[in-house]
């Protein structure tokens, strides 16, 4: 769990979810959709004639039906490039052990059997087109509860299947329902007999593995009179946390249009993010600064100087020949052809902007603060406090810091000595100074980072901050021969790489080593735990240089210490830049846009879910959708609620490129209740077009719709709803509430409700608001020691709580984690 | 979509005939509008469901007036308490007059034809280029192309009119229609109020076999600091179709108040566009529809915030009896440039009969999160039984209590009508709607 909360700083690495399996499919249809494709799918499944007829009718309708006029972006879907049916295994298994290993491994990595053991009544799993596994607890199956793949149900329960299939969502309902009806495969079938209450949730997992694959599952849930069930579906995904060097951006979250630093140390725009599956060796290039190690495929070009060209072989090692390295041209060399001691290019960031509002005194103070400081609201009286801690013997620093704090805050800073800890604390009560610390550096030793303004100041001004920082966190020891090593230790991962970038601009290449966590027993017997830390270090006046500054190219040349290789199987990423050079930074080093074959991919998820809730029954259907950002997610979900039944859609969308989904409930029986909670998080490049429909067709029915959306980083969240009270539906009570949160100026939020009331005794209320997070809230939380990102995350989680609190606990935790992942780096 | 909706009385030949005596720029403006009319869909929509419903209109029965002008005798009497009056009966201007204060201030109130003769540049500056009407609205572009009559009101800069300008229309000749434009242009820091009355022609107060048509615009331009209060009452006869586009552009610190009441007509379709361009501009809008029989009120309101610190306070209310229907579509758009916007849209309907129907569509499109408020709310419901109970406990009979509550619901608009007699007249109109409700209850 914890690994997912931390940013992985490894290029082309894979994380827990993002991997692609090399499956040899037993059967797959040809790319594209024709009448033959439909007939072939039906034949493979050995279906009755009526189903084939139904599919063909739907296919004809799909061709005739125009795209809905109110959508946008769907015209980019190339229906001819999709593989409509892919079969990964022979049949649906009842025992987990019998599922083919490759597929089993996939789901095990997603934690599915684990979940089943713990708290589920039944589990189903679908891989591309086919359901590979279904199981239901024995006691439930004895009571007549059916939970199986939809294809299997067509064979085993033909009567009940035919009675309901396609009656809730007819093939002609909309273009995508027609597409699903034509090529559907897989999905879950649930039947709960009269009066049976399923005490635990039934769960289904869906995964799209193949590129350009469509998943068209079809789920049918029939809940008989007085019965009760909770069905949960997880659409699991590829969310990966890799990064591209010192910009600290997870590569999977990089989107076209975003700016990252290119190999010349200049910000440049990304024109495309490419991804491909890869099986083969993965190389780990470890430079002398081992903290900057990164992984690439062997064909990935990297800017380097051959050691033979720049150095001479003397006494068993390569010695840099400065004369020749200035004259030799660096080359883009495939990683697989690099060798130990070849030199990698570490560009110096070129952007410089002065911010006069940040004074020299502030910089000197912030240097101390980065090393030693804390900013918080005093626990006794809530006073805003800034405190720096020094060794009690460091009287010069104490005096300096005290003078700076007094000058900056306009209030007298005090010193408080704690002889037992050999500590002298300099503190001042000042909201303005606290705000400066929180905004420019943050709080918490492992989450401190330098704000973007600090990062782009001219080097002469950055030097001020570095000087006091080293006074605080730095140490120096003399080495024989007149050189000395300067080291500084920080537990902030981000800060370590930022320091490296600043030092480079100051003309000093610093190495980063990683110190493993360890426990230390102090002389007085106390046990102190040290977290993982990053040691930033450099040598002053070295006898032998080990890195070389290249003023012509404004970069450092850093030798490779070693190259490791390991077998790899999974997805790898690559960026294409919109301007030359088509190259970017991996852990600070220049790598070229990869020349290996690449293709843009997209996948289509077009599902239909039909729910029949007979009299007095209760159904809850929960979805956590987290498809990867190349999936078009176009889903028709509809339920018919009969007399006194209750249907609840609990629907969350955090993934997919484009989602069009509006869970609907037709209230057909007197006294039926509809409850729809829809939440959406739209990040970079995403459009979450979600909403809800409640159609009241019978008297005394109730509906409640709650929609919450968050848009950020240029994402777009749209609520589209339909509330209808038909003639004859007397005594209806209905409410619609839509709240939208926008986290930045680039994002967009729309609300389009449609409320049609045809009965005079309806009570309907609707409210919608759009706004941003209150800065007061953020500031308050930050003053309590949270980083800006954590504070924002907490506010967003609170905003979405109406959804989270409806989930079983395990899912609530999982969902909050997904939101947190979405929120990572929201502030750049 | 385009071309699905066609009017029998539209087309280039008709437009060229209408433009016969007009300057080239106005003819070209009409032709531009005609092209837009031909290309645009009837509905620019972000919804699953189409909602514009013009099925009640029997276009083929209607022959719009092609020639308009002054009546043989034009009254110049200005009603007491008014600053100016212009009155149009069917296709003729029958009255036009200015008070001394208005005349001395340089106020203009006249037909396009006369303004083109006397001060052509003034009109051209106001309307050339079509920015005073929404470019995505098929029906507005139709009126821009086919208007047979234009009225122009101009209040010069710094002129403050204490008394209202009255614009009065009567329409009802079966099988005939008037397509017109009204332009109100206010100079910097000018202040005025306008009362627009739309009534049935005296000769045709009741239902007729053939429909009549009143199709017009209100095109408002408010220069920096200008204030306009516009009150409208629509009380056409039961066989009239009323279509109107109202469009306002507000520069820095301009303030606009709309108070619009619609009681008459078989079909009333209105769209209001407020464009808040200048910093600090503000619009407040109250609109009511009170329908009975088979009346349909389609009241659409689009407010676009472009300038910083602009405010919008928009309220639509409807009361529907019998088989009457109300469609309330509202949209607030906040552009990226509109930081500090405060905008609220409310749509509230009261259904008083089983077969009455209301559709509310309050939408938001937000590109700038740095707003003071961006929200809408709507509700539909019957009369609150608690309120009836309260009034009955004070000795008021049930039916009277219901009527009080309904009139109270609509009173915020009535209170904004600037002329005392006009306000009283609207109260009587609303009051007069009531008996048919009792008939419905009895039925």
Give me the percent of chain B exceeding a pLDDT of 70.
Answer: 97
Measuring CA to CA, which residue among B333, B344, B267 is closest to residue B306?
B333
The answer to whether A762 contacts chain B (CB < 8 Å) is: yes
Chain centre to alpha carbon of residue A227 = 38
Q: Which of A332-336, A464-468, A682-686, B244-248 has the lowest mean pLDDT?
A: A332-336
Which is more confident, A454 or B134? B134
**Is pLDDT at A805 greater than 50 in this prediction?**
yes
Rounded alpha-carbon distances, angstroms, from residue B149 to B23, B66, B169, B348: 15, 9, 12, 35
Most confident of A219-233, A806-820, B44-58, B414-428: A219-233
Separate counts of helices (H) and strands (E) for chain B? 10, 21
**How far apart, in whole angstroms, are the C-alpha atoms of residue A243 and residue A565?**
20
DSSP letter, residue A554? T
Look at B364 and A70 and tell me if their CB atoms are within 8 Å: no
Question: What is the pLDDT averaged over residues B6-20?
Answer: 94
Structure tokens at A107: 């789901």
The answer to whether A699 contacts chain B (CB < 8 Å) is: no
What pLDDT does residue A99 have? 64
Name every chain B residue with its beta carbon within 8 A of the beta carbon of A742: 366, 369
What pLDDT does residue B165 have? 96
Shortest CA gap B21–chain A (Å): 42
The answer to whether A749 contacts chain B (CB < 8 Å) is: yes
Which is more confident, A457 or B283? B283
Which is more confident, A112 or A434? A434
**Is pLDDT at A522 greater than 80 in this prediction?**
no
Look at A757 and B358 and tell me if their CB atoms are within 8 Å: yes
What pLDDT does residue A816 have? 72
- Residue B413 pLDDT grade (very low, low, confident, very high; cuts 50, 70, 90): confident
Name every chain A residue with its beta carbon within 8 A of the beta carbon of B368: 745
Backbone angles phi, psi at A258, to 5 degrees: -75, 155
Q: What is the mean pLDDT of chain B?
A: 91
Q: pLDDT of B285-316, one tens digit each?
A: 999 999 999 999 999 999 999 999 999 999 99
Minimum CA–CA partner of A726 in chain B: B357
The per-residue DSSP string of A27-40 comes to EEPPBS--HHHHHH
- Residue A594 pLDDT grade (very low, low, confident, very high; cuts 50, 70, 90): very low
A780, A443 Cβ separation under 8 angstroms: no
Count of CA atoms in the C-beta half-sphere (13 A) of A384? 16
Give me the percent of chain A exceeding a pLDDT of 70.
Answer: 75
How far apart, in Å, do the first and last CA atoms of chain B sit?
Answer: 42
Rounded alpha-carbon distances, angstroms, from residue A822 to A62, A237, A244, A628: 35, 13, 18, 12
Give me the percent of chain A exceeding a pLDDT of 90.
Answer: 27
Which residues, including other chains, have CB under 8 Å from residue A79's CB and lie 6 or more apart? A32, A33
- Residue A211 pLDDT grade (very low, low, confident, very high; cuts 50, 70, 90): low
**Is pLDDT at A581 greater than 70 in this prediction?**
no
**Is pLDDT at B190 greater than 70 in this prediction?**
yes
Look at A764 and B379 and tell me if their CB atoms are within 8 Å: yes
Name every chain B residue with its beta carbon within 8 A of the beta carbon of A760: 351-354, 356, 382
- Residue A12 pLDDT grade (very low, low, confident, very high; cuts 50, 70, 90): very low
- Residue A513 pLDDT grade (very low, low, confident, very high; cuts 50, 70, 90): confident
Which is more confident, B147 or A371? B147
Query: Least CB-CB distance to A762: which of B365, B377, B380?
Result: B380
Query: Least CB-CB distance to A748: which of B366, B371, B379?
Result: B366
Which residues, including other chains, have CB under 8 Å from residue B114's CB and lie 6 or more apart? none
What pLDDT does residue A702 have? 96
Name every chain A residue with its beta carbon within 8 A of the beta carbon of B46: 70, 720, 750, 752
Shortest CA gap A690–chain B (Å): 12
The answer to whether A755 contacts chain B (CB < 8 Å) is: yes
Mutation site, A70, A713, A770, interface B, largest B CB count within 10 A: A770
Q: pLDDT of A380-431, one tens digit each?
A: 777 888 998 888 888 888 999 999 999 999 889 989 888 877 888 898 988 8
**How far apart, in whole angstroms, are the C-alpha atoms of residue B42 and residue B31?**
19
The answer to whether A70 contacts chain B (CB < 8 Å) is: yes
Q: pLDDT of B61-97, one tens digit each?
A: 999 999 999 999 999 999 989 999 999 999 999 999 9
**How far apart, in whole angstroms, are the C-alpha atoms of residue A799 and residue A784?**
20
A721 exposed, middle or buried (CB, 10 Å; 0-12, 13-18, 19+)? buried
Which residues, including other chains, have CB under 8 Å from residue A133's CB and lie 6 or more apart? A92, A93, A94, A96, A99, A107, A123, A124, A125
What pLDDT does residue A825 have? 39
Q: pLDDT of A59-84, one tens digit each?
A: 999 999 998 877 877 877 888 888 88
- Residue A8 pLDDT grade (very low, low, confident, very high; cuts 50, 70, 90): very low
Question: What is the pLDDT averaged over residues B48-52?
Answer: 81
Shortest CA gap B114–chain A (Å): 45
Q: pLDDT of B258-271, one tens digit each?
A: 999 999 999 999 99
Q: pLDDT of A742-774, one tens digit each?
A: 888 888 999 999 999 999 899 999 988 888 887
Mutation site, B40, B298, B380, B382, interface A, largest A CB count within 10 A: B380
Q: Which of A275-284, A456-465, A613-622, A803-812 has the lowest mean pLDDT?
A: A275-284
Q: What is the mean pLDDT of chain A?
A: 78
Chain centre to alpha carbon of residue A671 = 41
Question: What is the pLDDT averaged over residues B129-158?
Answer: 96
Name every chain B residue with its beta carbon within 8 A of the beta carbon of A763: 380-382
A273, A244 Cβ separation under 8 angstroms: no
Measuring CA to CA, which residue among B18, B10, B17 is closest to residue B37?
B10
Q: pLDDT of B107-123, one tens digit each?
A: 999 999 999 999 999 99
What pLDDT does residue A247 have? 32
**Is pLDDT at A161 greater than 80 in this prediction?**
yes
What pLDDT does residue A826 have? 35
Q: pLDDT of B346-380, one tens digit each?
A: 999 999 888 999 999 999 999 988 888 888 888 88
């Amino acid at each position: 769990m914890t690994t997912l909360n931390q940013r992985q700083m490894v290029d082309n690495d894979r994380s827990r979810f993002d991997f692609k399996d090399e499956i040899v499919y037993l059967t797959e249809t040809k790319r594209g959709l024709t009448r033959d494709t439909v007939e072939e799918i039906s034949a493979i499944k050995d279906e009755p004639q009526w189903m084939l007829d139904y599919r063909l009718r739907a296919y004809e309708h799909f061709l005739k039906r125009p795209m809905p006029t109110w959508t946008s972006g769907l015209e980019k879907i190339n229906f001819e490039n999709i593989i409509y049916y892919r079969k990964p295994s022979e049949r649906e298994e009842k025992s987990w052990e019998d599922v083919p290993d490759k597929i089993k491994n996939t789901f095990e990595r997603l934690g599915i059997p684990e979940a089943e053991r713990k708290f589920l009544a039944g589990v189903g799993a679908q891989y591309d087109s086919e359901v590979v596994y279904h199981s239901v607890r024995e006691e439930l199956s004895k009571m007549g509860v059916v939970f199986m793949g939809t294809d299997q149900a067509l064979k085993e329960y033909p009567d009940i299947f035919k009675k309901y299939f396609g009656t809730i969502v007819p093939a002609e309902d909309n273009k995508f329902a027609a597409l699903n009806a034509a090529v559907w495969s897989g999905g879950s079938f649930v039947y709960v007999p009269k009066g049976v209450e399923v005490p635990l949730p039934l769960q289904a997992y869906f995964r799209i593995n193949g590129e350009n694959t469509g998943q068209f599952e079809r789920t049918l849930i029939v809940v008989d009179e007085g019965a009760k069930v909770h069905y949960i579906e997880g659409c699991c995904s590829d969310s990966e946390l890799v990064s591209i060097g010192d910009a600290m951006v997870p590569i999977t979250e990089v989107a076209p249009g975003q700016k990252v630093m290119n190999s010349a140390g200049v910000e440049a725009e990304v024109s495309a993010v490419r991804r491909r599956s890869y099986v083969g060796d993965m190389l780990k290039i470890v430079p002398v600064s081992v903290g900057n190690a990164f992984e690439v495929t062997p064909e990935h070009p990297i800017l380097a100087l051959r050691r033979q060209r720049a150095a001479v072989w003397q006494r068993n090692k390569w010695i840099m020949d400065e004369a020749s390295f200035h004259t030799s041209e660096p080359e883009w060399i495939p990683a697989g052809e690099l060798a130990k001691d070849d030199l990698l290019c570490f560009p110096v960031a070129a952007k410089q902007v002065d911010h006069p509002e940040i004074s020299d005194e502030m910089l000197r103070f912030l240097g101390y603060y980065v090393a030693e400081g804390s900013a918080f609201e005093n626990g006794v009286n809530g006073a805003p406090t800034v405190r720096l801690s020094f060794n009690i013997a460091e009287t010069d620093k104490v005096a300096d810091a005290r003078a700076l704090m007094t000058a900056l805050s306009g209030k007298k800073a005090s010193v408080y000595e704690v002889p037992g800890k050999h500590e002298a604390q300099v503190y001042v009560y000042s909201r303005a100074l606290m705000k400066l610390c929180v905004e420019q550096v943050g709080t918490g030793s492992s989450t401190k980072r330098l704000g973007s303004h600090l990062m782009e100041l001219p080097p002469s001004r950055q030097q001020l901050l570095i000087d006091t920082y080293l006074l605080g966190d730095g140490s120096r020891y003399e080495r024989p021969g007149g050189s000395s090593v300067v080291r500084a230790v920080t537990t902030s991962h981000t800060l370590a790489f930022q320091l490296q970038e600043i030092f480079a601009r100051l003309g000093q290449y610093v190495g980063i080593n990683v110190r493993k966590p360890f426990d230390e027993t102090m002389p007085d017997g106390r046990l102190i735990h040290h977290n993982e830390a990053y040691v930033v270090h450099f040598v002053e006046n070295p006898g032998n240089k080990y890195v070389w500054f290249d003023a012509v190219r404004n970069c450092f040349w850093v030798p490779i210490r070693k190259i490791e290789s390991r077998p790899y199987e999974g997805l790898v990423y690559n960026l294409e830049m919109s301007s030359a050079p088509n190259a970017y930074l991996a852990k600070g080093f220049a790598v070229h846009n990869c020349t290996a074959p690449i293709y843009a991919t997209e996948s289509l998820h077009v599902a239909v879910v039909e729910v029949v809730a007979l009299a007095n029954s209760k159904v809850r259907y929960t979805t956590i959708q987290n498809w990867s950002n190349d999936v078009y997610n176009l889903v028709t979900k509809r339920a018919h609620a009969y007399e006194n039944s209750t249907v609840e859609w609990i629907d969350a969308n955090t993934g997919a490129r484009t989602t069009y989904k509006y869970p609907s409930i037709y209230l057909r029986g007197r006294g039926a209740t509809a409850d729809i909670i829809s939440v959406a998080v739209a990040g970079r490049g995403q459009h979450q077009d979600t909403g809800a429909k409640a159609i009241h067709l019978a008297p005394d029915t109730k509906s409640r719709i709650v929609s919450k959306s968050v848009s950020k980083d240029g994402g777009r969240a749209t609520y589209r709803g339909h509330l209808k009270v038909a003639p004859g539906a007397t005594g209806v009570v209905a409410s619609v509430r839509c709240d939208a949160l926008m986290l930045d100026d680039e994002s967009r939020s729309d609300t389009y409700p449609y409320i049609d009331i045809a009965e005079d005794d309806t009570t309907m209320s609707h409210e919608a608001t759009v706004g941003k997070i209150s800065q007061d809230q953020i500031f308050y939380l930050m003053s309590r020691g949270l980083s800006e990102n954590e504070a924002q995350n907490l506010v967003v989680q609170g905003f979405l709580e109406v959804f989270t609190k409806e989930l079983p606990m395990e899912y609530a935790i999982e969902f909050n984690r997904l939101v947190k992942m979405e929120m990572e780096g929201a502030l750049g | 979509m385009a071309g699905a909706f066609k009017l029998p009385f539209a087309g280039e030949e008709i437009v060229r005939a209408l433009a016969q005596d007009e300057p080239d720029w106005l003819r070209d403006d009409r032709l531009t509008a005609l092209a837009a009319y031909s290309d645009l869909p009837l509905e620019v929509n972000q919804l699953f469901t189409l909602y514009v419903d013009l099925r009640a209109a029997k276009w083929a029965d209607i022959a719009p007036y092609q020639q308009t002008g002054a009546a043989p005798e034009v009254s110049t009497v200005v009603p007491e308490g008014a600053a100016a009056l212009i009155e149009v009966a069917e296709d003729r201007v029958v009255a036009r007059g200015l008070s001394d204060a208005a005349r001395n201030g340089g106020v203009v109130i006249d037909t396009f034809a006369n303004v083109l003769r006397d001060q052509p540049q003034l009109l051209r500056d106001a309307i050339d280029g079509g920015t005073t009407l929404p470019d995505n609205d098929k029906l507005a572009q139709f009126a821009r192309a086919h208007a047979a009559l234009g009225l122009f009101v101009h209040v010069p800069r710094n002129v403050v009119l204490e008394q209202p300008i009255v614009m009065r229309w009567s329409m009802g000749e079966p099988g005939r229609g008037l397509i017109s434009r009204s332009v109100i242009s206010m100079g910097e820091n000018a202040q005025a109020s306008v009362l627009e009355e739309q009534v049935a022609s005296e000769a045709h107060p009741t239902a007729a076999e053939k429909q009549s048509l009143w199709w017009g615009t209100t095109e408002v331009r408010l220069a920096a600091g200008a204030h306009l209060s516009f009150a409208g009452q629509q009380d056409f006869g039961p066989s009239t179709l009323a279509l109107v586009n109202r469009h306002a552009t507000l520069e820095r610190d301009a303030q606009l108040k709309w108070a619009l009441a619609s009681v008459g007509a078989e079909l009333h379709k209105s769209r209001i566009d407020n464009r808040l361009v200048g910093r600090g501009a503000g619009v407040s809008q109250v609109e009511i529809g009170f329908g009975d029989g088979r009346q349909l009120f389609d009241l659409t309101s689009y407010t676009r915030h472009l300038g910083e610190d602009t405010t919008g306070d928009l309220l639509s209310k409807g009361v529907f009896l019998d088989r009457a229907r109300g469609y309330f579509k509202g949209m607030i758009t906040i552009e990226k440039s509109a930081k500090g916007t405060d905008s609220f849209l409310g749509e509230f309907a009261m259904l008083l009969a089983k077969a009455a129907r209301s559709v509310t569509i309050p939408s938001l499109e937000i590109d700038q999160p740095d707003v003071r408020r961006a929200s809408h709310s709507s509700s539909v419901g019957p009369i609150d039984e608690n309120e009836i109970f309260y009034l009955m406990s004070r000795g008021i009979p049930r039916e009277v209590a219901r009527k009080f509550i309904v009139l109270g619901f609509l009173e915020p608009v009535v209170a904004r009508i600037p002329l005392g007699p006009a306000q009283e007249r609207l109260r009587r109109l609303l009051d007069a709607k009531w008996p048919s409700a009792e008939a419905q209850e009895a039925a």
